[in-house]
């Protein structure tokens, strides 16, 4: 298994080709759960352009962290920090919650980032991480996506290795969620998901995609 190479700095157009509604909506539900639990501040690791910060909508403190200068320039929210997920400029035992959404598969060693997340969480603090399945989008990728370092198939096990089985809870999905309406939309989706451009030739839109993945919650004991 290999990490999915991040290309946000040398090909920002690919990331910008992504459209809201093309991915499982974890930002909203994660934000609502953290707000309901009285979270005072969230560290958003791999914040990208700030979609999770937008979902929080100023209802609690938010700090975005990313190691991509271009993503931080495009980020819709502030404050942000330029830093690596495995070396956060955050004090030990200091934050209520940390989220690593759609990003751990970019790391050669996601366990290092999970250990760093646990370090900065206070006792009782919450982590949320998510990943797609290798069998996501079967209508476009019938043979499956190449395995990465953090897929839904092993995400819960990796988080439990750091936080302990008893402190981990998993939400999974496997259902039709996303409809691509025309060839241009299929082409843009393929680019945003690093798929071959001939995907648009092999399917006849509209096509509804089955989304498969998981959201992993963990609590620091």
pLDDT at 121: 98
Q: Specify the pLDDT at position 31.
A: 97
Distance of CA 114 to the CA centre of its chain: 13
- Cα–Cα distance for residue pair 22/4, rounded to 1 Å: 19
CA 186 to CA 66: how far, in whole Å? Answer: 28
Give the mean model confidence (pLDDT) for residues 27-47: 96
Sign of CA pseudo-dihedral 15, 18, 20, 24: negative
pLDDT at 165 over 90: yes
Which is nearest to 149 in space by CA: 191, 195, 114, 111? 111
Distance separating alpha carbons of residues 217 and 221, to the nearest angstrom: 13
Confidence of residue 11 (pLDDT cuts 50, 70, 90): confident
pLDDT at 42: 98
Cα separation of 71 and 48, whole Å? 5
Its pTM surpasses 0.75: yes
As a whole number of angstroms, the distance between CA 170 and CA 179 comes to 26
Superfamily of domain 12-176+212-219: Vaccinia Virus protein VP39 (3.40.50.150)
């Amino acid at each position: 298994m290999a990490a999915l190479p991040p290309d946000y700095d040398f090909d920002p157009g690919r990331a910008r080709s992504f459209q809201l509604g093309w991915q499982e909506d974890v930002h909203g539900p994660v934000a609502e759960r953290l707000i309901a639990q009285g979270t005072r501040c969230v560290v958003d690791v791999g914040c990208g352009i700030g979609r999770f910060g937008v979902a929080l909508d100023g209802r609690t403190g938010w700090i975005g962290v990313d190691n991509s200068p271009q993503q931080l320039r495009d980020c819709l929210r502030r404050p942000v920090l330029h830093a690596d997920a495995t070396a956060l400029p955050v004090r030990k035992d200091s934050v209520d919650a940390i989220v690593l959404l759609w990003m751990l598969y970019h790391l050669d060693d996601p366990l290092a980032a999970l250990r760093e997340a646990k370090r900065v969480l206070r006792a009782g603090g919450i982590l949320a991480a998510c990943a797609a399945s290798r069998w996501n989008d079967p209508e476009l990728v019938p043979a499956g996506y190449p395995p990465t370092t953090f897929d839904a198939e092993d995400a819960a096990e990796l988080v439990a290795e750091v936080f302990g089985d008893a402190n981990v809870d998993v939400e999974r999905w496997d259902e039709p969620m996303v409809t691509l309406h025309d060839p241009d939309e299929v082409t843009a989706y393929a680019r945003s998901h690093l798929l071959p451009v001939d995907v648009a030739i092999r399917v006849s839109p509209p096509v509804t995609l089955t989304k498969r993945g998981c959201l992993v919650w963990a609590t620091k004991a």
